[in-house]
Chain A
Amino acid sequence: MADGKVVKRAKYKSSVKDPGVPGVLKLTKERFFFMPNDPTSTTKLNVEFKLIKGHRSSKEGSSKQALLNLMHDQGRSYIFEFDSFPDRDKCREFVASAIAACGEVVKAASEKPAVPHDEQLSAAEMGRRIKLLQDNSELQKLHRQLVIGGILSEAEFWAARKKLLEQGDIKKPKQRVALKNDMWSVKPLSDGQTNRVTFNLTPEVIHQIFAEKPAVRQAYLKFVPGKMSEKEFWTKYSRAEYLHSTKNIVAAAAEAAEDEELAVFLKQDDMLAFEARKKIRRVDPTLDMEADEGDDYMHLPDHGLPLDETKEILEPQYEPFKRSFSQYLNQHAAVVLRGRVIDVELGDTRSVAEAFTRTNQAELAAEVSDESAYRERIAKVSRVAEIEDLQGPHEPPVALLSIKDPRDYFDSQQANAIKALGDGGTGTRQLKFNVSKEDAFCSLKNSISEINSQGLTEPIISPEVALKVLNGLSQNISSTKYHLGKNPHESVLDRLPSATKDELLLHWTSIQELLKHFWSSYPITAKYFYTKVTRLKDAMSQIYPKLQEIKESVQSDFRHQVSLLVQPMLQALDAAFAHYDADIQKRSAKSGERPNGFA
């Protein structure tokens, strides 16, 4: 204990009644370990004391076991049975002190202020922040100004950007290794002298065999622990494979007749056939297989694969022993495409086989429950394969559109347009104007005949008026030349000197950032927020004169535009200041005495 470590023999139990796993319990200041005596046992423990919330122990008595129960945070408990009570008590004391020590640390952590603080950052978190800053120069500038300038703390700055951080943090799932794409063809290694043939089976190969040949898997589960040993099983399997590789179907049939277990491997895989049938049923019924008939390789025997299978005519009794290479190829392809569906250590052959069976059953169950999919398929068949003449038209349900008189809308639009664009009172005055048809047309005709008789006025336009018009036009043109929105692709910023533009943009982003923090601090519920708001307010009031400076520094051409740009910033700042002042006043009024006249 002096060296902060206690090692005792103990049995680990998941419950009191459990006989327990004998092993060694090792206690250190931070955590405890349990190593079972049996190295293959999986009940190894390595638990931090931080997660242990309490401990109990059994009463001392000759008839009782010396138990120590460590209760986990999440309701679990670890029960250890010690050989003797002194051992137990020693451990109990150690555990008690360890839990107390951990508790202090935890408490100390939780006692830190609830407001964002400069917490210990993990290296990953730090790296992410640095990367973000590197990628985004604007953010970097802002960061430098606000955080390094002491206006915001690091944590405050990043708290507003959690999303940004998280975006970069979406961890990609670890890539899973797929099955090997090469087909395991049994390459018998024969030494050439004796008649022995050697097969090499690795866990990876077994995994592949189980995936590709459900029948072998099933046979393994059926035979292996009881009927034959694992070695016998694989010997038998290899023998069957060897028989296949010799392509001697008749010999295979003869062997199968003698040994019924061997027959399982030699015969065609029933489960595969069943699955294949099911898959065929799932194929879109409208798929036209005949369309592929013209494909070039079809005239070749066995789909153009190099054929070395014996072309002998077989008696029907040997039919189940025939195996086509393309079948095998297809099955292999299907398995490889499906990928690694089970997630089991490859070492244990049995568990691999069981895992395969489980996934298969799950798939089957899913399929059975998928009755609606089947019905949908049927519906699709009838829809696609229907005889068009005999069916009524399939029209999607349509709601009739009943548009009211659009005139209503445009009438009001017009009124709006006049309101928005009109030159004050003249528009409204004109609308009240009323004249009879005869009068109107008559005056129009008079005007025409007037000009017909008098000819054009001489001069058409007086020089003064012309000058006025020209002046007005050129003024109009020169003013609208710089008007905002003249060209949607060109903003007023682009026309400013680039230094001014950058400065304005920087101020704008920092104002935005400051305001975001400012407003998010309200209502002020803690002193911390109060100091933060004051800090922010000071920072913002420093920007205020800077904006003024920019406004004054630019050339007179741009001054108007810049002031237009700066105006909303100033307004936003003013609003913040006003709120700050009002809040201060309210606080002082609340805390101080009410003025005299206050009822």
Chain B
Amino acid sequence: MTPVSSKLYTDDVSLLMVLIDTNPYLWSSMKNTAFTFSKFLSHVLAFLNSILLLNQMNQVVVIATGYNSCDYVFDSSSSSMQRAECLLEKLEEFVDKDETLSQEDSVDGVGFSLLSGSLSMALCYIQRVFRTGPLHPQPRILCLHGSPDGPGQYVAVMNAIFSAQRSMVPIDSCVIGSQHSAFLQQASYITGGVYLKPQVSDGLFQYLSTVFATDLHSRAFLQLPRPVGVDFRASCFCHKNTIDMGYICSVCLSIFCKHHKKCSTCGSNFGEARKQDPSASGQRRKTPDGS
């Protein structure tokens, strides 16, 4: 392990972790539009090259976010994968592997790619660089994501977001799908990254190079797109309506839009403030008053 003191601290060297969405269902669904995966790739490859050209010591790592798995497909620091061809080769291998892992024959809708997995891998990689490499770069994560948010991954994604926030790694997100991603909006908001949903998908490269190419130090001097607003409002558990004000179970923090006698999530009984219900005393959330 390189001692911290001997590390090279610079403010303009970036470690860019790029997560590309390789959800096959997503790209199949986008075949009808002019923006295909090959087009996407060519824009991304050009962008990666420009990053590497910006600073000799810049490092780019690409992680493929698949449908069933995630993997590193490119690392500019390793001698074996220096060229773009390597990336494509690795990507093909990855897609093959991802296909074999797939169990369902078809998916309803677009399906979800494993954003939580690739985010975690990116964070792990950053930690490794922090602890071992000779450089102390300014790391950031760029999610090129198109799949809708997988509700099952909510907790994992949020955990990843919070660890990124802790290690001061901004998560930039560029949403290439047709819908906004609430996960990534929150990720960028919490970690101080940039959330962008390009209006012109053909101009992806322009977006990437304008918004996401600059290192973190230079960002301070730039006026980057800001989120119009992140919707943090919660939805009630009973009707799934987004509400401004509601009732919260004091045991499990479930949210309801109206008063219930019993929490539908954890089964706690909500007593009236004064009414004593001896049968439910064990579950009562209120402490017995004074007696």
Contact = CB atoms under 8 A, between A and B. Distances in A.
B38 A451 contact: yes
Q: Which 7 A-B pairs have CB atoms at the shortest separation, nearest pair first? A: A410-B151, A440-B24, A412-B240, A469-B203, A447-B37, A399-B283, A421-B180
A447 B27 contact: yes
Contacts of A461: 43, 202-206
Interface in B79-108: 85, 88-89, 91-92, 95-96, 98-99, 102, 104-108
Given A410-B151, A413-B240, A460-B42, A469 B265 contact: no
B54 to A, nearest CB: 17
Given A399-B268, A480-B226, A465 B202 contact: yes
A553 to B, nearest CB: 28
Nearest to B33: A426
A447 B224 contact: no
B10 interface: no
B205 A452 contact: no
Contacts of A462: 202
Contact of B99 (A402, A437, A473): A437
A390 interface: no
A415 B39 CA distance: 29
Contacts of A541: none
Interface string B217-249: 000000111111101000101001110000000
A21 B26 CA distance: 106
Contacts of B264: 404
B139 interface: no
Contacts of A427: 178-179
A63 B241 CA distance: 90
A423 B178 contact: yes
A274 interface: no
Contacts of A17: none
A590 interface: no
B74 interface: no
B212 to A, nearest CB: 12
B92 A445 contact: yes
Contacts of B228: 480, 483
B151 A402 contact: no
B270 interface: no
B95 A443 contact: no
B1 to A, nearest CB: 37
B225 A470 contact: no
Contacts of B179: 418, 421-423, 426-427, 430
Interface in A393-429: 397-399, 401-404, 406-407, 409-418, 420-423, 426-427
Interface of A: 397-399, 401-404, 406-407, 409-418, 420-423, 426-427, 430-437, 439-441, 443-445, 447-452, 454, 456-457, 460-462, 465-466, 468-470, 472-473, 476-477, 480-481, 483-486
B282 interface: yes
Size range of the interface on B?
35 or more
B9 interface: no
A521 B98 CA distance: 71
B207 interface: yes
Nearest to A410: B151
B211 A473 contact: yes
Interface in B48-92: 85, 88-89, 91-92
B207 A473 contact: yes
A448 B74 CA distance: 15
A439 B227 CA distance: 36
A436 B29 CA distance: 11
B229 A485 contact: yes
Interface string B180-214: 10100100000000000011101111110011000
Contact of A451 (B88, B202, B204, B207): B88
18 contacts: A399-B268, A406-B154, A407-B151, A409-B237, A412-B235, A421-B231, A422-B180, A427-B179, A431-B110, A435-B107, A441-B99, A448-B38, A448-B88, A449-B92, A469-B198, A470-B206, A473-B211, A477-B223
B240 A457 contact: no
B118 interface: no
A435 to B, nearest CB: 5
Given A418-B179, A473-B210, A473-B211, A443 B24 contact: yes
